[in-house]
C-alpha cells in the first residue's frame, strides 16, 4: 500500500510540474514596488531595474469580455504573470472579469476612465476622469489602485502632480508592438515583437488585451519570448496601508 501511495504522490508531483515546467515560459521573478509616485518605463522615464533579457508583460484597455479570457488562457498555459491597465468604464461593465485577473495571480492598475486625450481636457475634466477611474477600481477590488498608465502615453502636468501626491506609480513602457490595427495577423505581431525585443533587449512590453488580433496571437508571442530566451518578471505593489 505504501508503495502505491508513493507512486501516486510521485504522479501528482509530476503532473503539477508538467503544468508549469521547463516547457513553459514561466515567471522568473517578481518585483514588488512601493506605493509611491514613482515613474517607470524608459520610453518616458527611468527604466525598471531589469537585467538584459528580462521583460514585464503589460496589457491595456481591458477588461474585454471577448478578448481578455483568451489572454488569460494563453498566460495560464505558459505560467506567465502580467499586469493589466484597465479602463474604469470597462471595469464597471466587467467587474467579475476584472477580479478574475487578480484571482489568477496577475496585477492591475488603471488606464483612465474613458481613454480620452487628457491633454485636450481642462484641469477639472482630467481630475474627474482620474477620480472616476479610481472609484471604479476601488469598487471592483476593494483597494486603491497602485498604478496608472496614461492613455496614448500622453502625460499631463495636472495628472502627473495628482498621481505623485497620491502615491500612484506612473507606468510607462519600454517597448510596444503597435497592436491596434484590426487587420494585423499573428505573423505581423510576432515580427513586431521580435523587432522591439531586438532593439530594447529588456523592459516593459505594452500589448492590448482588448485587441482581438493580440488575444489571438498571444500564444505565438509568448513562444517568441520563450524561444529567444527572455525571462518574465511580474510587477506587483505593496499592499495599501
List interacting residues with Zn ion (CB under 5 A). 60-61
CB-based burial of residue 215 (10 Å sphere; 0-12 exposed, 13-18 middle, 19+ buried)?
A: buried
- In the complex, minimum distance from the CB of residue 178 to Zn ion, in angstroms, rounded to a whole number: 12
Residues known to be catalytic: 60, 208
Question: Is the Cβ of residue 25 or residue 207 nearer to Zn ion in the bound state?
Answer: 207
Closest by CA to 185, choosing from 157, 165, 224, 211, is 211
Question: Is the Cβ of residue 25 or residue 71 nearer to Zn ion in the bound state?
Answer: 71
Contact at 8 Å (CB) between 213 and 119?
no
- In the complex, minimum distance from the CB of residue 111 to Zn ion, in angstroms, rounded to a whole number: 5
Question: Is the Cβ of residue 27 or residue 214 nearer to Zn ion in the bound state?
Answer: 214
Question: Is the Cβ of residue 60 or residue 174 nearer to Zn ion in the bound state?
Answer: 60
- In the complex, minimum distance from the CB of residue 153 to Zn ion, in angstroms, rounded to a whole number: 9
Which residue's Cβ has the minimum distance to Zn ion?
60
Buried (b) or exposed (e) across 63-88, using 16+ Cβ within 10 A? bbeebbebbbebbbebbbbbbbbbbb
Q: Identify any residues that bridge with 204 across adjacent strands, giving them in sequence order.
A: 56
| Measured CA distances, 186 to 2, 48, 125, 214 (Å) | 50, 28, 38, 8
Question: Is the Cβ of residue 58 or residue 196 nearer to Zn ion in the bound state?
Answer: 58
- In the complex, minimum distance from the CB of residue 134 to Zn ion, in angstroms, rounded to a whole number: 17
Contact at 8 Å (CB) between 163 and 38?
no
- In the complex, minimum distance from the CB of residue 2 to Zn ion, in angstroms, rounded to a whole number: 57
Contact at 8 Å (CB) between 207 and 237?
no
Look at residue 53 and give its three-state secondary structure. Answer: coil
Length of the chain: 241
Amino acid at each position: 500500500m505504501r508503495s502505491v501511495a508513493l507512486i501516486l504522490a510521485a504522479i501528482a508531483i509530476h503532473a503539477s510540474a508538467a503544468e508549469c515546467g521547463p516547457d513553459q515560459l514561466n515567471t522568473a521573478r517578481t518585483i514588488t514596488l512601493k506605493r509611491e509616485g514613482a515613474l517607470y518605463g524608459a520610453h518616458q522615464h527611468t527604466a525598471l531595474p531589469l537585467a538584459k533579457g528580462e521583460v514585464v508583460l503589460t496589457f491595456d484597455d481591458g477588461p474585454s469580455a471577448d478578448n481578455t479570457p483568451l489572454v488569460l488562457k494563453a498566460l495560464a498555459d505558459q505560467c506567465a504573470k502580467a499586469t493589466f491597465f484597465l479602463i474604469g468604464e470597462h471595469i464597471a461593465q466587467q467587474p467579475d472579469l476584472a477580479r478574475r485577473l487578480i484571482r489568477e495571480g496577475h496585477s492591475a492598475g488603471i488606464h483612465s476612465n474613458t481613454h480620452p486625450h487628457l491633454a485636450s481636457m481642462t484641469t477639472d475634466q482630467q481630475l474627474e476622469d482620474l477620480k472616476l477611474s479610481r472609484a471604479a477600481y476601488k469598487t471592483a477590488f476593494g483597494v486603491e489602485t497602485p498604478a496608472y498608465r496614461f492613455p496614448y502615453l500622453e502625460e499631463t502636468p495636472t495628472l502627473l502632480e495628482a498621481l505623485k501626491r497620491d502615491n500612484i506609480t506612473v507606468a510607462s513602457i519600454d517597448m510596444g508592438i503597435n497592436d491596434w490595427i484590426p487587420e494585423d495577423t499573428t505573423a505581423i505581431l510576432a515580427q513586431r515583437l521580435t523587432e522591439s525585443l531586438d532593439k530594447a533587449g529588456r523592459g516593459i512590453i505594452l500589448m492590448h488585451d482588448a485587441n482581438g488580433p493580440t488575444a489571438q496571437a498571444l500564444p505565438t508571442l509568448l513562444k517568441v519570448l520563450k524561444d529567444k530566451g527572455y525571462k518574465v518578471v511580474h510587477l506587483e505593489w505593496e499592499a495599501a496601508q
